Each structure stands twice: as structure tokens, then as C-alpha cells.
Structure 1
Amino acid sequence: MSRRRTPALVATTLLTLGLAACSTDAAPATWSPAAEPSTTATPAAEAPRGRAPEKAFAIGVRQLTLNRDGDRPLPVTLWYPARGESGGTAKRSAPAAGGRFPVVVFSHGLSARPADYAALLTRWAAAGFVVAAPTFPNTSRGAAQVNPLDVLNQPADVSYVLTEVLALDGRAGDPLRGRLATDRVAAAGHSAGGVTTIGLFTLGRDERLGSGVVLAGTALGVGSAFAGTAAPQLFVHGELDEVVDYSAGRAAYDRVPWPKAMLSLPRGDHGRALLADGASLRVVADTTVEFLRWSLYGDDTAKRRLPADAARGGLATLDNRL
């Protein structure tokens, strides 16, 4: 969520999303929030037990030009583990590090862009994940016409982007050929991107996804009927969120029938404390990294470290049901 937008304006657009989502004319029929079926847990398809990389990687960055159905341009920023010394900024088109790395697809908030989240997403890449972050055509900053209702089309966008990114692993000549763990995939997103992410586990269930990270998100418009194979979820929410009320995020979290945890920041707002404030960002980054190490690499030591990372500095509390 761009800090250039006033909270009142963003809140209005999200409210518009919720009201319009109740109209059968506002979105495709497949996304109509009809009566939800009962939510039941299914056995988890756990990642094979393993160890996540212990070292930090250098970071590479590149761009993909994608377009779904010819009328939904979806430029994608890819951050990935690269060769070289760790630390410093991401280097454009740097050679990929050796090994196979899980993939995380990240969805930005309303009137934002992937680069707004670079401080967090580059930490994920340095920890051993390939992060694919599309810029959505009608909800990003700079879009010809911002349409909050288009959030309902974004889960399908993410599934398309995931297909195209995973295909790079077998594409002759691509720098990421043989570098993607195509069976270890997660979705993550902030605000409207959190709505998108929840949608990928409810009405738009993508069974390739093994886990999810929801930052300041809500089930508004996409429902909370979590479906399919169990996929662990980590929710992160500021208790002083002025756009998506903490109770709305908590309500979505409570509906998750799978292993889950919720990181709550008592002094956290909608985005600044989650993504820009140094101390809080470190807590969010460390907690999300450990969650991804466990849920995608199958690293049980990361799962055991997660509560301590969440408690560091007394800035957050963790409801841990993993």
C-alpha cells in the first residue's frame, strides 16, 4: 500500500470492494461470495524434511514481461539468490546461485508496486527463495484507471504468473533453468494483495501452493472457505491498522482449518510499521523467513526458532498453531 495514498481514500476503495463484491454484476460468477460451504481440514502435503540454506545469498533481480489472455499485462519482478558476496543491493541479471530454490509469488497492495516491498522481499531472496512479484494492471500505482474491484481477478493472474515462472526451470537458455524447486511454492501478499492471497486458498484454490503469508489482509470478496490440500498459513497484522481492521484479519485467520500462526503487532498500522520501520520490519522479516524455511524447505529447526524471532524486542505477539 503506497504511503502516498491517504488512509481515508484507501479505506474508501476497500469498502467499495466489499460492497461491490456483494453484487452479482460486479465480478465474474466464479467469484460471487455465495454461501460458503463448511470449512474442513484435509491432510497436509508437507514439504519433504530438509534443511534450508544457513548462509545468506547475494541477490539478483530481473524483469519478466507477461500478459494473461492478451489484455492483462503483468510485468513481473524476480528477486533470486545470486552468486557472490551477500549484503548490498540486488544486482540486475546477476548469475543465479547454485541449487534449487522454492518460489514465493507476492501480490502488492492497492496503488502500490513490487518495488515498494523490496526491503522485505530481498530478505526472502537472500534467505534462499525466488520471489516473483507481478504488477497488477488495474490496482497498481500508475495504472491508467485504478479499479479496486479488479482484485477479484488477481488470484487468476497469480496462478498464470506462477505457471510462467515455474516454466523457466525447464526453458533452455534461461538464467533460472534448473534453479527452481517447482514443487515447493507459496503465495504472499499485503492488503489488497492479502485479499488476493486468501483467494488463492479459497474460491480460486491453486493446489500447487504449499503455504501462504497474509500481511494486513482480509477475506473481503473472496470468502474464507479454505479448500483443498492443507497449506500452512502465517498472518501478520498491526492492531492499529487504520485501513483493514485487525478484527477483520483475525476473523479470516480464525477460519483457516490448517496449521497456522498469527503475528500481531500491538503498535502496528497498515503498512509503515510492517514494511518500513526498521525494528518491526526485522521482526516481520525474520518470522516470515522462518515460516517459509519450515513450510517450503521442510526445516523443522526453523519452525522451532520462529517463536523466538516473533518475540524479539517485545514488538509482537504470536498465536502459534503450526
Structure 2
Amino acid sequence: MLRRRSFLSLAALTGLAACSTPSSEGSPAASPSAMPEQSTGVTTRELEFNRGGDRALPTKVWLPAGNGPFPLIYFSHGLTSQPDDYAELLSFWASAGFVVAGPKYPHTWYQAAEYDADDVVNQPADAQFVITELLTTLSGSIDPQRIAAAGHSAGAITTVGLFSGSRDERLKAGLLIAGRQMPQPAPFSGDPAPLLFVQGKLDETVTYEQAYGAYNEVTWPKGFLEIPQGTHLPHRDQPQMVAETTTDFWRWVFNNDEAAKGRMPIDASSTNAGQLTSTF
């Protein structure tokens, strides 16, 4: 289990409660880049899950066109945010042939009745519950052997939990956007799973040093996508580059697509906006 004391220290030290806002996440991209267009055929569904008590977990799902089963990318939003704030990126992944699903966490999305940043400590268990429910509700659409987790900021910390203290062995890969470990971290554990970190060098909320420190703790195949002019919202600063690099990451880990793996460094550096270091 994740340690509540550790997370309280994290919130106090980094000001993580301000990691994102509805206005900043939902606003147009701050850079000249724009999300590349794809012929999607993506549809969405709203599902109502509840882990019990006050832990309602309404979940939005982006479904690709065609017949499944497809890989599943489970996505965790940042504090004061929600899945729709990441819709451009998540729908881009879905258009590439992946089911993408993300809940509104009960106490950390911006309209939470009782907002509590420290409740992130409970979100890995929420994530495990929602993944289990999705496998039942969308059994014909999801391949249970191809599941990954992704997240931004506090959602990335939630994702770290799924690969460490609350290890979910169903997960085959992970993506952490502006993510870090806790001051007293649990070690990464379980079967090796490729992890990709996406980090803005100018991020003042989750610093470059904090993110790289978490990256250094990973002994599995791993990658670090550095965006020198990126802030705490690298997926907004460089939407095209982040979308293309991360989508090729998913193609590689889910489909054993070696050509996609080979494109990742090219995707990252194509506009001179980023650089990928990896042990993939």
C-alpha cells in the first residue's frame, strides 16, 4: 500500500494541489504546434462505477473504430482536473487503435464535493477497481492481456503506485507525464514493464530533478522524453510531438511494433522540441 504519510509530505513540498486547473488543461495549446489530425471514427461512452461509500468513479471511455478486442490504456488525471481536459491526446491514442478510459477521482477532480489532494493515496486502489470493472463491462472490446496505465502529475504518481507499492500485475507498460516518486517511495516491483516519462524542463510543480530521480529508480526498459521548453503541461506545450511519440510507444509495447519503437527518437526530435533517452 502507498504510505499516506509520504504523500502528505509530497503535497506539502511540491504544491501539488495546484498541478492543473480546468482552465489550463482545457485551454488551447500554448505553442505553435497543433494536435495532428487523424481519421478517427472514435466514439465515447460514459460508465458509472462505484468502489463503495463516497468513492464514485464515473469513467469516460474513448473507443476506436473497428472490431476488438483492443489494448486498454487506463488514464489518471491530475489534481483539479478531469479526463475531458486531456481529450485531444486521449482521442488521438484511441484513433490509433487503443481503448482509453479514465475516471473522475472522487476527491481530486475540480468539482469534487469534498476536495482533498491527499486522497491521491487511495487512487491506485480506485484504478485497480475500475480496470476490473472495465474488463467486465467492455469484455468484447478489451484484450485483458494488453493493459497499460498512464497519468499526468498526481495521476502520474497514481500510476507510479500501480507499479510499486500497489503493483497491478495486469499492467504491461506505463506512461508518466510530469510524474515523480514519493519522498519515501516504495520500490518498483513485479514483472518488468516498459515505462516512458514525459517531462518539461521548466516544470515548477514536478521538477525535472524529481522526475528524473523517479526515472533513475526504474530498472526495467525505460525512456525519458525531455522537453526543454516544456512546463507542467508538456502535452499542451508540444501536443503533436507528445502525441506522436507516445502513440508509437503504445504501438511498440502493445503490438511488438519495432518500426514504431525506431520512430520514437525521430518523433521526439522532429521539431527540435524534445529529446528521447531510453533503454528500450
TM-score range, shorter chain: 0.7 to 0.9
Residue 237 (structure 1) aligned to one of 199, 205, 216:
199
Q: 1:142 to 1:308 in 2, by over 3 A?
A: same
Question: What is the TM-score normalised by the length of structure 2?
Answer: 0.85
- 1:143-177 Cα offsets, whole Å, 9 max, x none, are 1222111001000000000000011244xxxxxxx
Residue 18 (structure 1) aligned to one of 7, 10, 13:
10
Alpha-carbon distance, 1:69 to partner: 2.2
Question: What is the TM-score normalised by the length of structure 1?
Answer: 0.75
Alpha-carbon distance, 1:196 to partner: 0.2
Aligned 8 A contact 2:11 2:117 in 1: no
Residue 185 (structure 2) aligned to one of 223, 226, 243:
223
Structure 1 residue 132 and structure 2 residue 101: aligned? yes
Partner of 1:81: 64
Q: Output the amino acid matched with 1:313.
A: T
* Distance (whole Å) between structure 1 residues aligned to residue 7 and residue 44 of structure 2: 35
Partner of 1:260: 222
Q: Output the amino acid matched with 1:114.
A: P
Residue 276 (structure 1) aligned to one of 223, 226, 236:
236
* Distance (whole Å) between structure 2 residues aligned to residue 19 and residue 169 of structure 1: 35
* Distance (whole Å) between structure 2 residues aligned to residue 168 and residue 190 of structure 1: 25
* Distance (whole Å) between structure 2 residues aligned to residue 129 and residue 158 of structure 1: 18
SS in structure 1 at match of 2:266: helix
- 1:223-277 Cα offsets, whole Å, 9 max, x none, are 2500000000000000000111110000001111100000000000001xx2324
Partner of 1:157: 126
Aligned residues: CA RMSD: 1.9
Q: 1:158 to 1:80 in 2, by over 3 A?
A: same
Relative to structure 2, which stretch is displaced further, 104-113 or 305-314?
305-314
Partner of 2:89: 120
Aligned 8 A contact 1:240 1:267 in 2: yes
Moved over 2 A (4+): 14-17
SS in structure 2 at match of 1:58: coil
Consecutive unaligned residues in structure 1, runs of 5 or more: 1-13, 22-54, 83-96, 171-177
Aligned 8 A contact 1:232 1:260 in 2: yes
Partner of 1:37: none
Q: 1:205 to 1:222 in 2, by over 3 A?
A: farther
Alpha-carbon distance, 1:179 to partner: 2.1
Consecutive unaligned residues in structure 2, runs of 5 or more: 1-5, 14-37
Structure 1 residue 250 and structure 2 residue 212: aligned? yes
- What is the percent sequence identity of the aligned residues? 45
SS in structure 1 at match of 2:270: helix
Structure 1 residue 299 and structure 2 residue 251: aligned? no
SS in structure 2 at match of 1:269: coil
